[in-house]
Amino acid sequence: CGLTSNMQVSKEELRARRARFEREARNPPPPLPVQRIAWAGGKIVKSSKDKALSKLLERKAAAGEALTVDQQRAALEFGYTVTTHGRIDASVAPPGRRPISAKRETILLKEPVQMQVQSPVAPARAALQERRADTNSVPDVLNGGGAVHCEQSVAQREVRRWQKKLRECEVIQDRADRGIAVEVNQLKKLQRRKEFEVELVKAQAAAS
């Protein structure tokens, strides 16, 4: 009897569950999740366009640079006075701002100090330019004179080269005469002494 009641309860639970599944199947699908942010005030920007434009106008006014048509229109909206040449009148400040001429005076005061600091470099720079001018003003290089000078320098180097080899031969000969051991490559160099003398004569003739 108890088993029959348990089976009846189980059938009722299954029937209720089946009915619930059918109801859920008829329901529409749940909505997709929506990304939400904490700030609901619109687009987040890191800097203000008005502040950036104001800084640009201040820099151009301090430097005395001319403004474009759009920049002139923006300067007038900010309260600046634009001259006929398209520049901001730095002496007239818009409401709530200091005159930009003070910044311009600071820039003008800094320029002489920078010139005094850089003045010791001027003599060295002038000397370097003079040396470059002297180097560039040699016309013999294009006319063949530089080539002759170069050939003479090469010939003089050859003279010194063969003189050095002959001095080495003299040292080797002196060591051999005194009974000091001489290496094989030194003996081969000593055997070419006559050849070195001939090459030295040729080099001296080319250098003269």
Tally of domains within the chain: 2
Instruction: Quote the tokens at residue 92.
Output: 């007239």
pLDDT value of position 113: 46
How is 5-39 classified by DSSP, letter by letter?
A: HHHHHHHHHHHHHHHHHHHHHHSPPPPPP----S-
Higher pLDDT, residue 36 or 162: 162
Q: Which of 10-19, 55-64, 104-113, 180-189 has the lowest mean pLDDT?
A: 104-113
- The confidence band for 102, taking pLDDT boundaries of 50, 70 and 90, is very low
- Count Cβ atoms below 10 Å from residue 84 Cβ, excluding itself: 5
* Full-model pTM: 0.30
> Are 193 and 168 in contact, with CB atoms under 8 Å apart?
no
Residue 63 within any structural domain of the chain: yes
Host domain of residue 60: 50-115
In-domain check, residue 29? no
- Which tens digit of pLDDT belongs to each residue from 38-84? 666 666 666 677 888 888 888 888 888 888 888 888 888 878 888 87
Could you tell me if 108 and 148 lie in one domain?
Answer: no
Q: Is residue 188 part of a domain?
A: yes
Average pLDDT over residues 100-114: 49
Residue 167 is predicted with a pLDDT of 92
Amino acid at 83: T
Looking at the fold, whether 153 and 106 belong to one and the same domain comes out as no
Q: Is residue 102 part of a domain?
A: yes
Q: Is residue 85 part of a domain?
A: yes
7 is a domain residue: no
- Residues 121-143: what's their mean pLDDT? 57
Asked whether residue 16 is domain-assigned, the answer is no
Please indicate, yes or no, if residue 6 is contained in any of the structural domains.
no
SS3 41: coil
Look at 185 and 138; give whichever has higher pLDDT: 185
Q: Residue 117 belongs to what H/E stretch?
A: helix 101-118
Same domain, 54 and 111: yes
The pLDDT tens digits for 14-43 are 989 999 999 988 988 878 877 766 666 666
